[in-house]
Chain A
């Protein structure tokens, strides 16, 4: 069987796998390491939960009819900035770790015939999925926390604006996840296969 394939002296070009196939592999990658994925996702979740709770408690202040003093407004802005920073660090760190610990695997994938753009696509989908679900859960948790601690004022709560904040949080969380995973994934995909396989983390 092998001798026959070697009869043709021509080299063809590797097919680019369709998005569906990359999606399936990415999903499988997440489900076979559920524990690791949860930890990575939890990084995103916590950051976004914090951010969302800050947004929601600002909304809750308005619902209570409290007119924030300049000092309070400044404190709120500072909290938003802090929570953004926490999200950023938490998400980029966990994503970076989850890619770099798989350099050897990326090298092996390349040995077996994976194209560079397939590897990038795979990590893009993986980090996108983790980022999306992480920040979805995170923003729900953050919102619930504020609602539960302020049950008396829910009547006047601006749900429309809260939903908008939630959406913003999810977009931000997803973008941050993908943005953090992409540079190391591209770097690994572009490496010579041997170098990627030799990389120790």
Chain B
């Protein structure tokens, strides 16, 4: 357990002992904890606040969907959780380890063993065959050649590409490439799979297959899946859905709560509520000012 997490527990213990236990329990239950994460991109003089202080807990074995309009910061959040980029502020804990404290070698180990990445654009190595792509992370993990071959083939069979071992990405369809990417993400039995819009470049039907495959993996092997998506079909399969707007988490809800709403529909509804609240605040403020003015006027 990291020192910061311990400190939190101790703080809790100082006030209410019961909370300490609850904290302790929660610490082991959550595989990812994001605390106050901000990311500011500087482009010349302009500052883009991609993330404005994200707090998010993800349970071990959970299927978490992250939804939000384009540019809301989903990919940025992914890069933070996956240790691919550093937050400007805040902390990401993976298994209670603050990943900002890791040195390059430990970070590489984390990326290699603990996290599997799936990208919208597949990101396979174009010159390598499907099997070579899948065995690459195993090479970095130091696996023997026999083990690599055996496991690589088995993983490609799992994703239904047992007959495409020696095809290069260019000879595969988009859906097949993404399945190679899934097999590659599973190469070192990760605890977490991060999938940034895995169905973004695929048509509806193929996208559905990919979603089902991820769901199956999640159920069968208990791997935690965190996926950003615009896909209405995807969030319905998730255990929970986080809504990100303008670099902030607006809500974390079970998918049933979204009802038959599409993502866009729900976002519109949420925005309406937010605007309504803002107007109410404004009106209250105006009333207060008016009352104050009346009082001062009278006085």
Residues of chain A touching chain B, judged by Cβ–Cβ distance below 8 Å, are 1-6, 9-17, 21, 25, 29, 32-33, 104-105, 108-116, 118, 192-195, 197
State in angstroms the CA–CA spacing of A192 and B112 once bound together.
15
Cβ-neighbour of A2 out of B84, B110, B117, B190 (below 8 A): B190
Q: Is the CB of A21 within 8 A of B86?
A: no
Closest residue of chain A to B117, judged by CB? A111
Please, could you name 23 A-B residue pairs with CB atoms under 8 Å apart, sorted by A? A5-B113, A5-B114, A5-B190, A6-B31, A9-B97, A10-B97, A11-B114, A12-B113, A14-B112, A17-B140, A25-B139, A104-B123, A108-B125, A111-B111, A111-B117, A112-B112, A112-B117, A112-B136, A113-B141, A192-B86, A193-B85, A194-B79, A194-B85
Main secondary structure of the interface of B (DSSP, over half): loop
Which 7 A-B pairs give the minimum distances between C-beta atoms?
A113-B112, A6-B191, A3-B222, A14-B108, A113-B140, A2-B223, A13-B105
Cα distance A33–B141 in the bound complex, in angstroms: 25
Write the nearest CB–CB distance from B237 to chain A, whole angstroms: 18
| CB-contact partner of B85 in A108, A112, A116, A192, under 8 A | A192
A182 to B137, CA, bound (A): 24
Instruction: Tell me if B105 and A14 are in contact (CB < 8 A).
Output: yes
Which residues of chain B have C-beta atoms less than 8 A from A112's C-beta?
111-112, 117, 136-137, 140, 184, 187
CB-defined contacts of B222 to chain A, threshold 8 Å: 2-3
Q: A1 contacts which chain B residues (CB < 8 A)?
A: 189, 221
Measured between C-beta atoms, what is the minimum distance from B148 to chain A in Å?
A: 12
A195 cross-chain contacts in B, Cβ below 8 A: 85
Which residues of the partner chain A approach B191 to less than 8 Å between Cβ atoms?
Answer: 2-3, 5-6
B127 in contact (CB, < 8 A)? yes
The residues of B with any CB-CB pair to A shorter than 8 Å are 1, 31, 60-61, 79, 82, 84-86, 95-97, 102-106, 108-114, 117, 123-125, 127-128, 136-137, 139-142, 184, 186-192, 221-224
B113 with A9: CB separation less than 8 A: no
Q: A13 to B97: give the CA distance in the assembly, Å.
A: 14
Known: A6-B95, A9-B1. Is A192-B84 also a contact (CB below 8 A)?
A: yes
**Interchain nearest-CB distance for B123 vs A (Å):** 5
When distances are taken between beta carbons in the complex, the residues of chain A under 8 Å from B110 are: 11
| Cβ distance A10 to chain B, nearest Cβ, rounded Å | 8
In the complex, the answer to whether B85 meets A3 with C-beta atoms within 8 Å is no
Contacts of A193 in B (CB 8 A): 84-85, 111
Shortest Cβ distance from A114 into B: residue: B140
| Chain B positions within 8 Å of A21 at CB level | 139
Whether the Cβ atoms of A15 and B106 lie closer than 8 Å is: no
Whether the pair B84, A13 counts as a contact (CB closer than 8 A) is no
Least CB distance from B121 to A in Å reads 9
Contact residue among B79, B109, B128, B223 (Cβ-Cβ distance under 8 Å from A113): B109
- Nearest chain-A residue to B218 (Cβ)? A2
Q: Of B60, B82, B106, B140, which one neighbours A6 at CB under 8 angstroms?
A: B60
User: Chain A: which residue is nearest B184 at the CB level?
Assistant: A112
Q: How far is the CB of A33 from chain B (nearest CB, A)?
A: 5
With a cutoff of 8 Å between Cβ atoms, the chain A residues found around residue B192 in the complex are 6
Contact A110 B114 (CB under 8 A): no
Report which residue of A2, A29, A197 has the largest number of chain B beta carbons within 10 angstroms of its beta carbon. A2
Taking CB as reference atom, which chain B residue is nearest A6?
B191
**Judging by beta carbons under 8 Å apart, are B106 and A11 in contact?**
yes
Task: Please give, as numbers and ranges, the residues of chain A lying within 8 Å of B103 by CB-CB distance.
Answer: 13
Indicate if the CB atoms of B108 and A114 lie closer than 8 Å.
Answer: yes
